[in-house]
Amino acid sequence: MNSKLFAISVFLGSVFLTSEKFVNTENSIKFYFTLISVFIGVIFLLIKSSNMTLEVQKITSTTVMKGLFIVGVFQSLYGILQYIGKYPSNHNSFAVTGSFDNPAGFIAVLSLLFPIGIFWCIKSKKLEQRFVFFSVGLIIFSIIISGSRTGLLAVIISTISIFIIEFQLLSKIKHLKFFKLKVCSTIILLLASLFLLYVWKPDSANGRLLIWNVSTEMIRDKPLIGFGYKGFQANYMSYQAQYFKENPHSSFKQLADNVTHPFNEFIKIAVNYGVIGLLFYVLLISIVFWKLLKSKHPQKNILVGMFISFITISFFSYPLQYAPIWLLLGYFTLVVFSVRLYKKNLSLIIRIPIIGVCFLGVILFLFRMNCELEWKDIAIKSLQGQTKQMLPKYEKLYPYLKYNSLFLYNYGAELNVARQFERSKILLNECLKKLNDYDLQMLLADNYYHIGDTTEAIRIYQHAENMIPCKFLPLYRQFEIYKKNENVSNAKEIAQKIVDKQVKVKSTIVESIIEKADNYLNELE
């Protein structure tokens, strides 16, 4: 087994592998491929390797580091080709995503691999240095055209960190005159950079401030143990709705949208697992970082820079949602603790259970992949007008995918299309325990309306309206119900709200809603 080639191949696959046969084409297949590859690699290593320490040393070698960096260069080229229109983007709102579903994954990978290029540039000879310097430039250019402020910040901080550690700058400047002045100047420069990055995209920054503000309310309600696994996805939008209900004139109203992540890994952990979970996480990364600093590994400085990039991105994005980042974190851990491996084989008593668990893991993930492949097939056929024919297949998959919030939502939506409103209501209420957003609330309200429970339908429409105040459709649905029930006073009130409402994005649908409300008010006069 060529450990170096295997390590690079797994990472390459986790970055670039996509499949249109999966519902989540950009993430599912990456994670499945990564986990299955790692399981198979561990099995092969335990069966064939005569010296595990030697194999680990190969994986954590300079060659592998350079290979990972080249993967990042190819990814940056992918993004550049998207920018000039040679490849399509994987997101409707962003021109540059690389091989990911979102710029967040693209930037996370490039930012973590960037320090390898900086270190390689420092250590390489002139001819090689030119190639590396050009490659580093490509990555920086890719980050800029993606519009990511977080990526630029991570690159700046990690580069400074590498230079400080590599050239021992701190120990040198302490003896210089005006040391305090230099430190203060550095702090001012950093704050100025943060301000400029804020000015670059103020609406995006303010949107995150809203999310963090609402998230603190969640932490305040359950400070110790949090809301549990996927607690943020299941509860955040209800808290956002409550925030706008209590602050109807908030300046954040036009910035609100569906939110599934707080754009901060530390906040998400605090929401899901409370202060206890957050302290454990901080302690864990602190131990790894400390051990990296104390390590005598030849690539220590690179890994420190990569780790600093990860921490920086974690404050403003969601890197832990992507398989390559998990691989790199595993890489950090492997480097830190590999020095403690004994230069001998593990005993059969240890090997056999590990191999058994890995085999079981491969089987389970292959089965799950097959279920998702079936789901994708029936979802496409449903969109093609075969919803009623596909419902028995949805029900067949339900026992295996009922823990997947996206499956529950998709199944509930198709039941709504098939006018099986009661069953759709049950599925969507089940989904609410794992995922809650504006679209789900609108669908759920529609179910209650068709069942005949207009009171509950109106309540849910009001809840959806508070979730994203700039939306017109919840108000219009309420208006329709009141109008149909000949509740003139409430219908008039809602119609006036529609007419007076500020338009965020002009569209024919919004114009039509405003026109109908305005006509109704004119008829009453």
User: In the predicted model, is pLDDT for residue 229 greater than 70?
Assistant: yes
pTM: 0.89
* CA distance readout (Å), 42 to 338, 380, 444: 15, 36, 45
CB atoms within 10 A of CB 310: 23
Q: Picking from 29-43, 126-140, 179-193, 341-355, which range would have the lowest pLDDT averaged per residue?
A: 179-193
**Under 8 Å between Cβ of 413 and 443:** yes
For residue 403, the model assigns a pLDDT of: 92
Domain contains 380: yes
What pLDDT shows up at residue 13? 92
Q: Which residue has the higher pLDDT, 143 or 178?
A: 143
Query: Which residue is associated with the tokens 């996927």?
Result: 230
Which residue has better confidence, 254 or 175? 254
489 in Cβ contact with 524 (< 8 Å): no
Q: What is the reported pLDDT for 90?
A: 85
The answer on 131 and 119 residing in a single domain is yes
- 445, 461 Cβ separation under 8 angstroms: yes
* pLDDT of res. 396: 96
* Residue 47: band (very low, low, confident or very high) from pLDDT cuts 50, 70, 90: confident
Counting residues of the chain whose pLDDT is more than 70, the rounded percentage is: 88
Q: What digits encode the pLDDT tens for the residues 114-125?
A: 998 888 888 777
Contact 25, 18 (CB under 8 A): yes
Q: What is the C-alpha separation between 466 and 469, in angstroms, rounded?
A: 5
Look at residue 170 and tell me whether its pLDDT is greater than 60. no
Write the pLDDT tens digit of every residue in 506-522.
Answer: 889 999 999 999 888 88
What does 311-380 look like in DSSP terms, one character per residue?
A: HHHHTTS-GGGSHHHHHHHHHHHHHHHHTTS-SSPPPHHHHHHHHHHHHHHHHHHHHHHHHHHHHHHHHH
Provide the domain limits for residue 512.
Answer: 472-525
Mean of the pLDDT values across residues 194-219? Answer: 77
Q: Name residues whose C-beta falls within 8 Å of residue 23's C-beta, 6 or more positions apart in sequence.
A: 372, 375, 376, 379, 406, 407, 410
Q: Same domain for 60 and 159?
A: yes
Q: What is the distance in angstroms between the CA of the first residue and the CA of the last residue of the chain?
A: 83
Q: In this structure, what DSSP letter does residue 57 have?
A: H
pLDDT of residue 204: 67
Q: Which two tokens stand for residue 214?
A: 């609402």
Residues 161, 215 share a domain: no
Those residues with Cβ within 8 angstroms of residue 480's Cβ, 6 or more apart along the chain or in another chain: none
Name the average pLDDT for the chain.
86
pLDDT of residue 188: 63
Instruction: Report pLDDT for 25.
Output: 80
- pLDDT, residue 52, reads 61
Q: Which of 294, 323, 355 is the last residue of a domain?
A: 294
User: For residue 182, which of 159, 164, 156, 209 has the smallest C-alpha distance?
Assistant: 164
Whether residue 289 is found in the same domain as residue 332? no
Identify which of 475, 441, 459, 494 has the alpha carbon closest to the alpha carbon of residue 258.
Answer: 441
Please choose, from the candidates 69, 68, 67, 100, the residue with its C-alpha nearest in 3D space to the C-alpha of residue 82. Answer: 100
Evaluate whether residue 202 is within a structural domain: no
Confidence of residue 186 (pLDDT cuts 50, 70, 90): low
Q: What percent of the chain has pLDDT over 90?
A: 54
Domain boundary among 278, 294, 310: 294
Task: Read off the amino acid at residue 464.
Answer: A
**pLDDT greater than 90 at residue 381:** yes
**pLDDT band at residue 175 using 50, 70 and 90 as cut-offs:** low
Residue 2 is predicted with a pLDDT of 75
Exposed e or buried b per residue across 362-386, where buried means at least 16 C-beta atoms within 10 angstroms of its C-beta? beebeebbebbebbbebbeebeeee
Both 45 and 136 in a single domain?
yes
- Domain assignment present for residue 352? The answer is no
316: which 2 tokens? 């403003």
Which tokens go with 368? 């799950």
Place of tokens 């097959």: 370
255 and 267 share one domain: yes
- Tokens describing residue 433: 């325990």
Structure confidence by residue, pLDDT tens digits, 90-118: 888 889 999 998 899 999 999 999 998 88
Closest CA to 1 of 61, 53, 48, 43: 48
pLDDT of 74: 95
Q: Which residue has the higher pLDDT, 293 or 67?
A: 67
Task: Quote the CA–CA distance of 236 and 222 in Å, as a whole number.
Answer: 13
- Average the pLDDT over 185-206 and give the result: 61
Torsion of CA 330, 325, 195, 260, to 10 degrees: -120
Q: Which two tokens stand for residue 70?
A: 């080249």
> Looking at 27-36, 43-52, 449-458, which range is the least confident one?
43-52
- 435: in domain: yes
* Domain shared by 492 and 465, yes or no: no
Do 515 and 453 sit in the same domain of this protein?
no
Is 193 a member of any domain?
A: no
Q: Determine how many CB atoms are found less than 10 A away from the CB of residue 489.
A: 8
Question: In terms of domains, do 465 and 479 share one?
Answer: no
Whether 337 is in a domain gets the answer: yes
Tokens of 256: 């609100």
Q: Over the stretch 244-263, which tens digit does the pLDDT of each residue have?
A: 999 988 888 888 899 999 99
pLDDT bin (cut points 50, 70, 90) of residue 181 is: low
Whether 464 has a pLDDT exceeding 90, the answer reads yes
pLDDT bucket at 187, cuts 50 / 70 / 90 = low
Instruction: Write the CB contacts of 314 (distance below 8 Å, at least 6 apart in sequence).
Output: 264, 265, 266, 320
Q: What is the CATH number of the domain that holds 373?
A: 1.25.40.10
Say which residue, 335 or 155, is predicted with more confidence.
Answer: 155
Question: Which has the closest alpha carbon to 41: 361, 297, 322?
Answer: 361
Whole-angstrom distance, CA of residue 47 vs CA of residue 238: 51
**Locus of tokens 């292959």:** 366
Q: How far apart are CA 82 and CA 68, in angstroms?
A: 21
Q: What is the distance between the alpha carbons of residues 318 and 329, in angstroms, rounded to a whole number?
A: 14
Residue 132 shares a structural domain with residue 277: no
Number of domains present in the structure of the chain: 4
Do 139 and 12 share a structural domain? Answer: yes
pLDDT band at 147 (very low <50, low <70, confident <90, very high): confident
468-490 pLDDT, tens digit per residue, is 999 999 999 999 999 998 898 99
Give the residue, 523 or 478, on which the prediction is more confident. Answer: 478
Residue listed under structure tokens 């338009």? 503
Query: Where does a domain end: 469, 495, 510?
Result: 469
In terms of domains, do 227 and 251 share one? Answer: yes
pLDDT attached to residue 206: 79
Average pLDDT rounded to a whole number, residues 60-69: 83
Residue 358 counted as domain residue: no
Domain assignment present for 203: no
**pLDDT 10s digits, 265-309:** 999 999 999 999 999 999 998 988 888 888 777 777 888 888 999
Question: Given a cut of 90, is residue 19 above it in pLDDT?
Answer: no
Residue 374's pLDDT band (cuts 50, 70, 90):
very high
- pLDDT, position 55: 65
